[in-house]
Amino acid sequence: MRLYSTERVRPNRNTNAIKGNIRWDAGKSFWFFAMLTGGVLAIVWSPSRSGFLVFLATTAITICAGHSVGMHRLLIHKAFETPKWLEYTLVWLGTLVGMAGPFGMIRAHDMRDWHQRQRVCPPHPSHGAGFWQDAWWQMHCRFDLDHPPHFEIESEIANDRVYQWIERHWMAQQLALAVPLFLIGGIGFVLWGVCLRIAVSLSGHWMVGHFAHRGGHQGWTVEGLPVQGYNLPGLGLLTFGENWHSNHHAFPHSAKLGIDKGQLDPGYWFIKSLAAIGLAHRILGPSDLPEREGLKRLAPDELGVPQTS
């Protein structure tokens, strides 16, 4: 069976995209449970309105500017360009979400994307398991192929000393936020602004990925592939535009995820705000690169849901 290549993932003659094992990842699991424990303590032991506001503010900044814009649209997909200092800042904010460092995020994203482009995709990278099993797999385990493809991050990122430093110490990056929070509001602010934020962010990221690959509204389909992306209407503000996953599967290069009328995309609004003050340029839209092979626009009668365009 032919295995497709992507920019960073290249199969060799021994590569098998299916055969492998799902293994418990102790570090990943303990990290989540530690943050979850701290988050529960924030609510039970240190409830406060100011702590809740700290949680909201730090979550919004790290998820929107950091993960959605910095990690996903900028570093991984190169959907726009910024000055290097701002690129570092946005990616660093994405690291504060608590999932991984820049190299780890690129690898996790691109390996999942590579699996989903094959003719057959295993249940781990396709989110093919049930709700609770998929939660365990995604947040506490890893999928190790017996014969993986060659994975290579482009040299301008892999050899960047700032990214290398962030990657080596990605968990310790939380100290840069935890210390000032402690000085301002004590351990309670740390529990709200670090532990609870990370626990909710990790759970929310998994949940969006789970439902965005299970079914629902589609504006587009990529024919011939076993895994499709689905939009999650009504969650644009909450997910900063990452809910428009059918659109993202159709145009992975696009900085704009909410491409139809009424599809709210705060992440794109943030990018346009940066452009307005001269800090973002070469912003790619859906039509700025050639279409994916097999891309098909679905008509309203094929969706079962009215189109908004």
Looking at residue 301, what is its pLDDT? 46
Q: Give dist(CA 82, CA 212) in Å, integer.
A: 29
Question: What is the DSSP annotation of 205-235?
Answer: HHHHHHHTTTSSB-SEEETT-S----B-TT-
127 closest CA partner among 245, 28, 233, 27 = 245
Q: Where are the domains of the chain?
A: 23-144+155-303
Structure tokens at 306: 């009215």
Q: Give dist(CA 309, CA 299) in Å, integer.
A: 11
Looking at residue 1, what is its pLDDT? 58
Rg of the chain's alpha carbons, rounded to an integer? 19
Instruction: Report pLDDT digits (tens) over 133-144.
Output: 999 999 999 999
Instruction: Yes or no: say if 213 and 245 are a contact pair by the CB < 8 Å rule.
Output: yes
What confidence tier does 281 reach under pLDDT thresholds 50, 70, 90? very high
Helix, coil or strand: residue 192 = helix
What confidence tier does 300 reach under pLDDT thresholds 50, 70, 90? low
Instruction: Yes or no: say if 255 and 73 are a contact pair by the CB < 8 Å rule.
Output: yes
Instruction: Report pLDDT digits (tens) over 216-256.
Output: 999 999 999 999 999 999 999 999 999 999 999 999 999 99
AA identity, residue 121: C
Residue 82 vs residues 86, 111, 130, 266: alpha-carbon distances, Å? 6, 26, 40, 18
Instruction: Report pLDDT digits (tens) over 143-170.
Output: 999 999 999 999 999 999 999 999 999 9
Instruction: Yes or no: say if 80 and 280 are a contact pair by the CB < 8 Å rule.
Output: yes
Give the HSE-up count for residue 56: Cα atoms under 13 Å, Cβ half-sphere. 7
Helix, coil or strand: residue 64 = helix
The arithmetic mean of pLDDT across residues 268-286, rounded, is: 98
Q: How far is CA 243 from the centre of its chain?
A: 11
Decide if pLDDT at 304 tops 70: no
The arithmetic mean of pLDDT across residues 190-205, rounded, is: 98
Looking at residue 47, what is its pLDDT? 97
Residue 60 vs residues 3, 46, 86, 270, 298: alpha-carbon distances, Å? 38, 21, 18, 12, 33
Instruction: Report pLDDT digits (tens) over 67-91.
Output: 999 999 999 999 999 999 999 999 9
The arithmetic mean of pLDDT across residues 284-288, rounded, is: 96
